[in-house]
Amino acid sequence: MTRVAVVGAGMMGGNHARVLSRLSEAEVTLVVDPDEQRGRALAASVGAAWSADAEVVADRADAAVVAGPSQLHAAIGVPLLEAGVDLLVEKPIATTTEDADRLIEAARRHDRVLMIGHIERFNPAVLQLDGIVEDLLHVELTRMGPFSPRVTADVVLDLMIHDLELALALAGSDVARVEAVGRRERSGSLDLATALLEFADGVTATLTASRVGQTKIRRIELTQRANFVVLDLVRQDLTVHRVDHDEFLSEGGARYRQTGLIEIPFLDDRGEPLALELGEFLECVAQRRTPRVTGTQGRRALELALAVRRSAGAYR
């Protein structure tokens, strides 16, 4: 059983603590938060101790989830890695590439697991793509939801970064071109953004992230040479559309007929994505293996998100 500390008792920290407390391979031993009332309440709910100071983590845990403010990820995480603690750091890895590099280098120097919490990589529908993506031409990713005053980050670092990381993983290539537009509607930062990406291997992607919508949408569409794949990440389902039969007649009395085939693959890993993500983290800690989303991959997603934000920042 791995002893795990949760650093940050906000919404995400609370979710991590809740799920970890239900996993047989983990024991939540410590909750760290400067807000004593909030920290003690979460700690009590999972049978853990509370501390206001992350320096005690190494004495009470083998691994930790860092779910504090993104701008503090490096300040919290680097000393923990140096103290021998394996880390799952919530997305984004940091808010600057310099801080991301500090985390990655500390993990490398001290031979620690550094996993980044891009939770959509553990959505059962996305996990199923491992055997489906082939000859990808274009990917369209849409992520929309209502505005929440609780969130202080702009829509690119808050929402779109999930899909930027997915686009990088799906394309499997470096980004050659980034174009983006955005709007500020409900806050002082970008609330709506659309990005167009071109990858070095020719794959293209369009991404839309919005927090001014009225419903929650999490959708991915893949255009491939042989088929068209649609994923609904909220419903956790996946469908594959392909042309089954074409018929062309001569121009004299031309008639065109097409029939389609829809496949709905069985999802092997149905379940709560956060539980699947934390299960992966615990396996990596126990087996000393590389996680599905490494620090380097988290940095690439951050770097791309910052490029999108710069491009979209010129728009109102």
Q: What would the two tokens of residue 59 be?
A: 């004495």
Residues 105 and 133 in one domain: no
Residues 266 and 131 in one domain: yes
Helix (H) / strand (E) element for 11: namely helix 11-20
Three-state secondary structure call for residue 186:
coil
User: Smallest Cα–Cα separation from 193: which of 213, 208, 178, 211?
Assistant: 208
Range of the domain at 182: 122-272+303-312
Give dist(CA 213, CA 159) in Å, integer: 13
Q: What percent of the chain has pLDDT over 90?
A: 81
Residues 34 and 164 in one domain: no
Report the 10 Å Cβ neighbour count for 86. 26
Residues 150 and 180 in one domain: yes
In a domain, 280, yes or no: no
Cα first-last separation, the chain: 51
Residues 30 and 88 in one domain: yes
Residues 181 and 202 in one domain: yes
pLDDT-wise least confident of 11-25, 250-264, 265-279 = 250-264
Domain count, the chain: 2
Residues 89 and 146 in one domain: no
Residues 191 and 216 in one domain: yes
Single residue among 112, 130, 151 that ends a domain in this structure: 112
In a domain, 173, yes or no: yes
CA separation, residue 73 to residues 101, 113, 144, 284 (Å) = 12, 15, 26, 20
In a domain, 128, yes or no: yes
| Predicted local confidence at residue 214, as pLDDT | 81
Residues 243 and 263 in one domain: yes
In a domain, 224, yes or no: yes
**Do 7 and 13 touch, CB atoms closer than 8 A?**
yes
In a domain, 277, yes or no: no
* pTM over cut 0.85: yes
Q: What is the mean pLDDT of residues 167-189?
A: 93
Residues 128 and 251 in one domain: yes
CATH assignment of the domain containing 24? 3.40.50.720
Residues 173 and 259 in one domain: yes
Helix (H) / strand (E) element for 19: namely helix 11-20
Single residue among 94, 112, 130 that ends a domain in this structure: 112
Give dist(CA 204, CA 196) in Å, integer: 7
Identity of the highest mean pLDDT range in 144-148, 247-251, 285-289: 285-289
CATH assignment of the domain containing 222? 3.30.360.10
pLDDT averaged over the chain? Answer: 92
Q: Find tokens 């998100």 and name the residue.
A: 305
Single residue among 67, 92, 112 that ends a domain in this structure: 112
Q: Provide the β-strand partners of residue 5.
A: 30, 64
User: Smallest Cα–Cα separation from 126: which of 11, 265, 27, 9?
Assistant: 265
In a domain, 34, yes or no: yes
Residues 95 and 150 in one domain: no
